[in-house]
Amino acid sequence: MCTITIEEFKNLFDRGQFYYGLEVPGIRDKDILEALNEALNIFNGDLYPDDETCKRALSYLTAHFLILDIDGASGQSIYNVSSRSAGGISESLSIPLWMQEGDFAMYATTFFGQKYLMLSKPFLDGAVFVVSGATTF
């Protein structure tokens, strides 16, 4: 099973997705570690074909839990806004139905959870193979 370090997480998300720091609103190493531990409780690294894909999926899942923790601490809802507008500009987002229902619905509540699902879906669906052969009665 793969895992990631705090430094690997920070290196992946180094374009302003998170503000790292020791004071609020900064994200502390402790916050990342807590989100990583939450992610590892449900993460199945054996689904992925290689370590790089596994680490990327785990990073997105960790980011998902980190966003949930940040939003929860600030009293925000975990649900996405499906439409918004300001100054004559409007935006409407559509999440695929398979993400909105069943076991996947919780992950669709954040951008990073959606990326985790998109990366993981090919390995969650399973595969069907046809093998030629015959019985020897």
Q: Render each residue's pLDDT in the chain as its tens digit; 137 residues.
A: 799 999 999 999 999 899 999 987 899 999 999 999 999 998 999 989 999 999 999 999 999 999 988 877 665 544 445 566 777 777 665 666 666 667 777 787 787 888 888 778 777 766 666 777 777 77
**What is the residue extent of each domain of the chain?**
6-81+91-124
Runs of H (alpha helix) within 16-87: 29-42, 51-73
> For residues 6 and 29, is the Cβ–Cβ distance under 8 A?
yes
Q: How far apart are CA 19 and CA 17, in angstroms?
A: 7
pTM here?
0.68
